[in-house]
Structure 1
Amino acid sequence: MRRFYFLVCSLVLFSSFIVLNADASSFSFRRADGGKLIGKVVESPGNAGVSFATIALLTKDSTLTEGVVADENGVFTMSNVKPGSYILRVTNMGYQTLFVAKVSVAPESSIVDLGNLTLLPEAQKLNEVVVRGEKSMIVDDIDKKTINIGKDLLATSNNVSDLLEKLPAVSLDENGNPQVRGKGNVVVLIDGKPSSLYGNDLPTILQSFPANLIERIDVMTTPSAKYEGDGASGVIDIITKKSKIRGINGGTRVSLGNKDNYNGSGNISLKTGKLGMNATVSGGVRNMYWKRRLNRENFAAAQTTTLAQAGRGQNEGNNLFSRIGANYDFNDKNSLEAGINYSRDHSDNNSTLLNQTGLTNGTITEEFIRKSKSNGNGDNVNMSVDYRHKFAEKDHQLSFTANYSIGSSDGESSFNLESEIESLVKQQRTFRDNKGKSLFLNSDYTWPITPKSTLEVGVRSRISSNDNTNAFYTYNTDQQDFVFDPAISNIFGYSDALYTGFMTFSQKTDLWGLRAGLRVTDYNQKIKQISINNEFGVHFLTLVPSLALTRKINDESQFKLNYSRRVQRPEAGMLNPYTDISDPRNIQSGNPNLKPEFVHKAEMGYSNYESSGGWGPSLFMDYSNNAITRIRTIDEEGVSLTRYDNVGRELSYGFETDFSQKIGESVKLNASGRVFRSEVVSDIAQIDNRTWSYSGNLNAFITLPMDFRASAYLNYEGPRAIAQGTREGVFVANMGIRKDLLEKKATLSFNIQDIFLSRAYKSQLSTETYNQNSLWQQTNRMLNLTFQYRFGKISASGDDA
């Protein structure tokens, strides 16, 4: 805890130093006093201001001398411009680049008014996007949706986890794992690379990654063959900011929350000449309280019994994330980027659970209280190198990426069972020691065959290994000591090697667009149950095709049809046969006999986006005939065993749309919603669940007097069919208010998450051997006050740093 307080104090001092010195002449990039250029960037037709356009001042040999970013209304000011003749370049996503020649600044001039600089909307291309409104709005592409992380989302989000739950079709489960259209098994990438390179615990990674490092997030519900075939529900690619313009910029953020929840971060980027550097550090303390309830009727024995569980717990921890990177542009055709990331996480968990077993007439036959404590530590180091080469031929490009990651985690847990029945009294301990490493290699080549057709090919390899030790000890009253129990302990080794190649072909005409692709993957798994000297391996060769078609209606609208085949390969945790008996009435185990799940995904949609807003409705279908899901069985003692299995057919289909609208100058709305049917059917497991449901979310941003802005977020994930039962709907409501300070270089914001404490996860399961109702809910409402300060003449992404 003291280490985090030291980090927060350091960040506050760093913020104060920046505030006092950001405008001082000590920056080596500050030029001598000169003229001032002013102007406004507008779009045609209508002359509406273009928010956050990038304005660069070039010499006659195209050397960059100054750069600024326009404000929300397209207005910009460029100060301290030396006398001379320049070329002005104006760029913004979705518009044609504008060059203004012979911009002259005379020695005697103080202000040069350039008036309105008009950008023309760029005609939609196959591999480009159409901007819909301001930077924080959604962008539609042929095979993905892009969400630009503007200032509104940043003001209401401290980390990537906060950002994700505001995106169309994306939600988080009770553990913080992303879901797409209400389903898990989502591949999360960071800059196109597996998030596992940053560590094995995805929720912790997302909570540790500062939101202000993110430029945009791409959500792909029917990914092209360019992306790895994993992720039956879809792919989320988190794109971080890059320093592209000469200068120095950065920011700090400190957030104070109730119930001992705090976090802080600082980042700085430097670009001078051919060299760019960036550094980031963030840390946080999290504290979450929860309650759990379970009621079950067990029919497996001759006489029906009941199980009632009620418990509460606390999960607390702290994390640290840091990275440093550098990029060097050798020339206009060759660039190199390298970086290293370090993350550390510590957790402490405590819980108390009352267990009552009885008969249907209300008689309690046995009762005990299970008290558990656990702690864990995790470290991960990731090193990366990226090289890009542009050939002399126009737009030919070769890229190469190498990533190496090494991590470890350890921890221990204690379980004490207290009861008046002597045979139930137990003391147990487990010790965990996990180590892993992975190597990721990637190379892509882009070849524009003609001005209207492009071929892209690539190869990937990923090699990883994990060693997991779970040692279980039970207290022996005769020996007065904890004794190792080999029957439920496990040493588990896992390694995999993936080799894959892909090819995509894109063709466009004035009205039609096509992108077709095929990925071939050779995948090998080796599993070692070292404790029982058992070893086996599996091998899969898979084909993942994809197809996307678009038909342009006009400059703002198009139809599209997408298809993709996905594969979910069993992960190490699903395969590990280790039996977790921390809850003796509900034990869990892996299944080393799992087979891959193949999912067919299809989508047909229409989009129409204009400067004031738009919408993108679509019909979708996901189908799998070998679905991997959790199955629960009950024995005669009323003890349940849960493990993953291949159960049979899983189908979901429905209607989905996203929507954005600007109402006047004060209100912006982003929303998405869907109506769908989910079905899980298995003759072998005797499952037949079919449910109609609906889900949706709404983001509203409102401009108030005195430079205040308010925001509200609502999300509802409707009930859906799951194996052996139904999961109920979940509603979440958040809100916030913010104010810009210090000439919009700083922001003070106040946010409330889960206003009504309605994020409750409930499920009902029913089979021939049992009926069960369960609840898990976080019980502390999250409030936080956040201060953010940004410095520098220009940001890395053309938005708030």
Structure 2
Amino acid sequence: MNKHFFLLSFLTLLSINTAFAQRGGGPPGGGGDGNGRPSRSSEQTQTLNLDGDAPKGNSKIKGFVIDSAVTIAVEYANVALINETNNKVVDGAMADENGKFEFSKIAPGIYTLKASFIGYTDQLVEKIKIKKGDDIDLGTIKLAISSKVLDEVTVTGLKSIIEEKVDRLIYNAENDLTSKGGDGADVLRKVPMLSVDLDGNVSLRGSSNIKVLINNRPSTIVASSVADALKMIPADLIKSVEVITSPSAKYDAEGTSGIINIITKKSTIQGFNLSLNSGVGVRGSNLGLNGNLRIGKVGFSLGGFGRSFYNKASNTLDQTTYVGDNIFRTNQTGDSKDFGMFGRYNLGMDVELSKTEFLNASVSFGTRNFNKDQDILISSFSNSNLISEQNRLVETINKSNNVDVNLDYIKIFKPSHEWSISTQYSQNNLTNDFDAEIYSAATELTTGQQNINGNINKEITLQTDYMMPIGSKQLFEVGVKGIFREVDSDYQYLFGTLGSLEENASQPSGYLDYNQNIKAAYVSYTLSTKNKWSFKAGVRYEHTTIDAIDNALPLDISSYQNFVPSINISKILNNGLTVKAAYNNRIQRPGLQELNPNYNAANPQDIKIGNPNLTPEVSNNLEFSLSKSIKRSYINLSFFGRQTNNSILQLTSPSDTVAGALITTYENIGKQQVAGLNFFGNIFITQKWSVNGGFDTYYNYLEGQVQTADGFEFASNSGIVIGGRMMSQLSLNKGWGLQAFTGFRGNKVSLQGNDSGMAFYSLGVKKDINEKKGSIGLAFDNFVNGMTRTSTSSSPLFDQKSVNYIYNQNVKLTFSYKLGNMRFVEKKKTKSVNNTDQKGGGESDSGGF
């Protein structure tokens, strides 16, 4: 719940000369369940005597507070009883979930009753004459929407961009002006500790082995490719991003460097609303429509967000392979055009079965259609002699559709004492095809190539969790979980003249059936002491079995088990400095694209193929951090170290069948060590002007085996990687707002080479219209020049250098508008499946199940 909630509550009570702390719309001082929901008592109405000297009697006053427009209850409205003789508040009450309130033990006299709630105009009922023994029913008291109150409060300051919790860092993205009309990758580029390359691939503190969740849930579209999933999520839909660098035992053991949880905007209203978000840009456009309806104890949400984009790029590739005394060299130039359409749609329902039981159900559907048209000129040389020259026109088709179905139940016994059951079914259908027309220098059309690759990724998850407080300073958590996955990949490679393509004998059709079952259990214990120490420790056990068939041949992959310990310790010192230390053990299972044995030769000189025999990698992680709030500003300094064994690394080597070509696959061949620091701060120069930013630097060391003419030999690579980002936003008068952002990422080290760094920047301006019901904005991205990325790799058998030029300057006009009659209410308690065990990053060809 943000600061405006508290401030609005204070304003509504200011006129009656009292203010009390309130959280989540609950009763004053009444506590809560830790999720914004007030604790329940045996009575439906909770009251508080605000004037201890007021005379008492035996009379009663009761009534209901409702919304004047939609005639529904105003849950947890504030009701005050004022003695008109001395203008003192003699009693206060909080309406229940039905809008009902009641005062008892009222002395005879003349009173005024005042009802109020955030976002509404106060309503007075005057001249209430009370006699001894009266029992007065005021009936319904109607509150009207007050846009003026909301407007006056929300412009007083900027929401803190960075928040720090016990086990995570939170980046509040909902006020990001420059990302309007963009996608999830645009938002994640601004999050401390994260790096996002031009393709949308995400890394955390130098590691791409991370798990990405959406609203605490996994999704098979994220699992298949994080980069594609980020393109599918409009930036306007993202509320915040949580970075969890030291996950507790409650989270799945997967993700060697941590977890990223993307929180989207959800309904927290009573009544109905309909919002439109749109944008038109030089490089892309977006359209979103989102509606919510809540009537009493049942809420519905329906939303759809779509985005289309196009871009131009060019590239060069120079590579040399050494085979005995022969030297094969390839020069390649190309131009490409990218076209993409992405969408995500959802339907949700939540039901309050009783005061302590809640049910949540949702269905979400995602679709992706990405086409790349390339015009490539390839010149091949053998010992400096030109042996072939061809022009390839290649169309790459990368599309998918994804569905997630969730059903969750939670039972609350008392605050922090609850039991939940969560279920999820996910399915993702993927197509990764290419068609190539090949022209030689001497003739017109020569040959054609086609790769047909269809994949189906299914997943069923069952989970139950139980948490129980022990006194007021301890918390015990336990849970079990089962994840059942099935991946099917069918692929076919065709070659010949157009109209008569046939199977290539050297690359026959094939399939992969891969079934993975994970059974897990965890126990976690949290202790907070009076002297501000906090301890959170736990252990998780996971048992994994794999049943796989590659082209009718069973794969011999043994089952494995992992004990995953974790401990988090924090201490708040007297000067307000927070000190944290953490250790955890993590594993990283291979993902679909790492496993898929499809032979992808869209570029015949740079071939990609997966390895279904991969086993998981294991890492040990240490972290130490210092943080401090200085007035409204915040700074944090973190030191971290990580060692990963049996590391899954890309390995490139010359092809045995195609002269001069390179093949890249994945192997468990390495060890990776990372040590570094991360610094960031959020500074409020004035109440309406903030600047935040930071930098990351770490030393990355990798070692493994690379292929040579005599077999394999030891190889290593290391380097220091530096990155940073800075953003400033300013809230002006009359609804105007400005925001600027810039960031950079230094060279990225790999076992056989490195990728060059890159820089990006954006500028945005927004104007609120019609009493903040809508807004119009203008944003600019990389408006001076595009981006260039250079990648190099080498071994005793080859040298390769590729350069990509991406013309991604963009200017976009954004527009949003909201319709409907709404008011804020406390958010209903829900639980959800939280799979965090999949590979969640890496190159654009990678991802988890």
TM range, normalised to the smaller chain?
0.7 to 0.9
What is the one-letter code of the residue matched to 2:731? T
1:177 positional shift = 2.7
**Is the partner of 1:162 in helix, strand or coil?**
helix
Corresponding position: 1:471 with 2:516: no
**Is the partner of 1:579 in helix, strand or coil?**
coil
Compared with structure 1, are the counterparts of its residues 385 and 601 closer, same or farther at alpha carbon in structure 2 (3 Å cutoff)? same
Pairs within 5 Å for 1:353-752 = 353-358=376-381, 364-391=386-413, 393-410=414-431, 412-420=433-441, 425-475=446-496, 481-485=500-504, 487-488=506-507, 489-510=509-530, 511-530=532-551, 532-554=552-574, 556-635=576-655, 637-682=659-704, 685-704=713-732, 706-752=734-780
Counterpart in 2 of 1:281?
A: 304
What is the one-letter code of the residue matched to 2:500? D
1:337 positional shift = 0.6
1:534 positional shift = 4.3
1:660 positional shift = 0.2
**Is the partner of 1:574 in helix, strand or coil?**
helix
Greater shift in the superposed pair: 243-252 or 321-330: 243-252
Compared with structure 1, are the counterparts of its residues 111 and 346 closer, same or farther at alpha carbon in structure 2 (3 Å cutoff)? closer
TM-score (norm 2): 0.77
Corresponding position: 1:331 with 2:354: yes
Counterpart in 2 of 1:771?
A: 799
After superposition, the C-alpha distances for 1:218-245 in whole angstroms (9 at most, x for unaligned) are 1112222221111122101123344445
Q: Distance in 1 between matches of 2:66 and 2:798?
A: 71
Pairs within 5 Å for 1:242-257 = 242-257=266-281
Contact 1:383 1:404 in 2 (8 A): yes
Q: Distance in 2 between matches of 1:139 and 1:585?
A: 47
Contact 2:178 2:764 in 1 (8 A): no
Contact 1:83 1:107 in 2 (8 A): no
Compared with structure 1, are the counterparts of its residues 565 and 433 closer, same or farther at alpha carbon in structure 2 (3 Å cutoff)? same
**Is the partner of 1:686 in helix, strand or coil?**
strand
Contact 2:316 2:333 in 1 (8 A): yes
Contact 1:198 1:380 in 2 (8 A): no
What is the one-letter code of the residue matched to 1:364? L
Contact 1:60 1:87 in 2 (8 A): no
**Is the partner of 1:481 in helix, strand or coil?**
coil
Compared with structure 1, are the counterparts of its residues 551 and 491 closer, same or farther at alpha carbon in structure 2 (3 Å cutoff)? same
Corresponding position: 1:40 with 2:11: yes
Corresponding position: 1:232 with 2:256: yes
After superposition, the C-alpha distances for 1:407-429 in whole angstroms (9 at most, x for unaligned) are 32346421122113679943112
Greater shift in the superposed pair: 687-696 or 426-435: 426-435
RMSD: 3.6
After superposition, the C-alpha distances for 1:310-366 in whole angstroms (9 at most, x for unaligned) are 1111221223321111111122210001111122222322111111223676x5332
What is the one-letter code of the residue matched to 1:482? L
Compared with structure 1, are the counterparts of its residues 581 and 375 closer, same or farther at alpha carbon in structure 2 (3 Å cutoff)? closer
Contact 1:312 1:352 in 2 (8 A): yes
Counterpart in 1 of 2:291?
A: 268
Q: Distance in 2 between matches of 1:311 and 1:689?
A: 30
Contact 2:313 2:807 in 1 (8 A): yes
**Is the partner of 2:559 in helix, strand or coil?**
strand
What is the percentage of aligned positions where both structures have the same residue? Answer: 23
Q: Which one scores higher on RCO, CA 8 angstroms, separation ≥ 6? A: 2
After superposition, the C-alpha distances for 1:709-748 in whole angstroms (9 at most, x for unaligned) are 2111111111132111122212111221111111122111
Counterpart in 1 of 2:40?
A: none
Q: Distance in 2 between matches of 1:291 and 1:192?
A: 38
Q: Distance in 2 between matches of 1:556 and 1:199?
A: 40
1:685 positional shift = 4.6
Equivalent residue for 2:173, pick from 133, 149, 152 = 149
1:646 positional shift = 1.9
Equivalent residue for 1:107, pick from 125, 136, 144 = 125
Q: Distance in 2 between matches of 1:539 and 1:481?
A: 45
Contact 1:214 1:238 in 2 (8 A): yes
1:650 positional shift = 0.9
What is the one-letter code of the residue matched to 1:61? T
Q: Distance in 2 between matches of 1:709 and 1:572?
A: 43
Contact 1:57 1:67 in 2 (8 A): no
What is the one-letter code of the residue matched to 2:449? Q
Corresponding position: 1:61 with 2:45: yes
Contact 1:241 1:797 in 2 (8 A): no
Aligned residues: 714
Contact 2:466 2:478 in 1 (8 A): yes
What is the one-letter code of the residue matched to 1:553? L
Q: Distance in 2 between matches of 1:134 and 1:56?
A: 25
Equivalent residue for 1:307, pick from 330, 349, 352 = 330
1:88 positional shift = 7.2
What is the one-letter code of the residue matched to 1:232? T
Q: Distance in 2 between matches of 1:534 and 1:155?
A: 48
What is the one-letter code of the residue matched to 1:471? Q
After superposition, the C-alpha distances for 1:69-107 in whole angstroms (9 at most, x for unaligned) are xxxxxxxxx9x99997895779xxxxxxxxxx9856533
Corresponding position: 1:346 with 2:369: yes
Compared with structure 1, are the counterparts of its residues 207 and 267 closer, same or farther at alpha carbon in structure 2 (3 Å cutoff)? same
Contact 1:231 1:566 in 2 (8 A): yes
What is the one-letter code of the residue matched to 1:372? V
Counterpart in 2 of 1:29?
A: none
What is the one-letter code of the residue matched to 1:484? E
Q: Distance in 1 between matches of 2:824 and 2:391?
A: 55
After superposition, the C-alpha distances for 1:610-645 in whole angstroms (9 at most, x for unaligned) are 442110101111111321111111257322111011
Compared with structure 1, are the counterparts of its residues 509 and 764 closer, same or farther at alpha carbon in structure 2 (3 Å cutoff)? same
Contact 1:249 1:270 in 2 (8 A): yes
**Is the partner of 2:191 in helix, strand or coil?**
coil
Compared with structure 1, are the counterparts of its residues 473 and 217 closer, same or farther at alpha carbon in structure 2 (3 Å cutoff)? same
**Is the partner of 1:203 in helix, strand or coil?**
helix
What is the one-letter code of the residue matched to 2:193? A
Counterpart in 2 of 1:217?
A: 241
Q: Distance in 2 between matches of 1:738 and 1:588?
A: 44
Q: Distance in 1 between matches of 2:789 and 2:472?
A: 52
Corresponding position: 1:295 with 2:323: no
After superposition, the C-alpha distances for 1:572-614 in whole angstroms (9 at most, x for unaligned) are 3212222222221121211233221111111100110244211
Contact 2:395 2:435 in 1 (8 A): yes
TM-score (norm 1): 0.82
Q: Distance in 1 between matches of 2:247 and 2:349?
A: 30
**Is the partner of 2:186 in helix, strand or coil?**
helix
Counterpart in 2 of 1:163?
A: 187
1:778 positional shift = 2.4
**Is the partner of 1:246 in helix, strand or coil?**
strand
Compared with structure 1, are the counterparts of its residues 514 and 381 closer, same or farther at alpha carbon in structure 2 (3 Å cutoff)? same
